[in-house]
Amino acid sequence: MKAHGFKGCRLIVAVISAAVFLFITPIVQDFGWAQEKPAPSLGSNEKIRISSDSLTIEHESRYAEFVGNVKVNQGDAEIKADSIRIYYKEGLKEEMKPAQGEDAIEKIVAKGNVKIRFENRVAVTEEAVYITKTKVLMLSGDNSKVTSGNDSISGARITVYRDSNRIMIESSKAQRVEAVFYPGGKKQ
């Protein structure tokens, strides 16, 4: 681990807080399913709890990476993965506040057994990548699936374009795209 003591700790906390918000929001809001209550907002008072086997902060390469049984919680939302790496932009000031954190993040990558849960919505994939500049979330790996109650969509790659409110689900040689919807929200 290459970290410089407490140098940049406030920056890292701000970046991680923003990363959790940015990663969860596309899943819960952009699939067109109604929500019982809104997603956590950036800068909300709900604590963010992250646990993992290790944390590496690499200031020169501009990333923080949680590795091994990573679990992130904020309110009802939860992310689990084998690793989560948060890339942040160059030239950031240490006094950055959490509300400014969204501007600090370039990309968030979760790898291995990724599961994102919020209320009755769940996304399961092998890799999830969120790019802040383009506001694009990509879930990739055979059997990537997003479920809301009994309804689900699955494919080898699910891409959410937040700016244009568009979702693209792609197949692979091993798996076709599949959507399962129950009229009236009832399981048949």
Give the pLDDT band of residue 9 (cuts 50, 70, 90). low
- In this predicted structure, the answer to whether residue 101 has a pLDDT above a threshold of 80 is no
72 in Cβ contact with 49 (< 8 Å) = yes
User: What is the span of the domain harbouring residue 57?
Assistant: 9-133
pTM value is 0.75
Say how far apart CA 33 and CA 71 lie, in whole Å. 25
Quote the mean pLDDT of the chain: 75
Instruction: Evaluate whether residue 50 is within a structural domain.
Output: yes
How many folded domains does the chain comprise? 1
Domain for residue 47, yes or no? Answer: yes
Does residue 66 belong to any structural domain of this protein? yes
Q: Give the pLDDT confidence of 23-51 residue by residue, as tens digits.
A: 655 554 545 444 444 444 444 567 778 89
Query: Mean of the pLDDT values across residues 78-103?
Result: 70
The terminus-to-terminus CA distance of the chain in angstroms comes to 52
Is 173 inside a domain boundary?
A: no
pLDDT for 108-157, tens place per residue?
A: 899 999 998 877 788 899 999 988 888 888 999 988 998 888 888 999 99
| Bridge-based pairing state of the strands 105-118 and 77-88 | antiparallel
Q: How far apart are CA 151 and CA 20, in angstroms?
A: 25
> Given a cut of 60, is residue 182 above it in pLDDT?
yes
Q: Can you give the pLDDT at residue 1?
A: 39
If pLDDT is split at 50, 70 and 90, which confidence band does 71 have? very high
Q: Are 155 and 177 in contact (CB under 8 A)?
A: yes
Q: Calculate ∠ Cα 69-63-163, nearest 5°.
A: 90
What token pair was written down for 178?
């599949």
**85 and 106 Cβ atoms separated by less than 8 Å:** no
Q: Look up residue 13 and give its two tokens.
A: 């906390």
Establish if 151 belongs to a structural domain: no
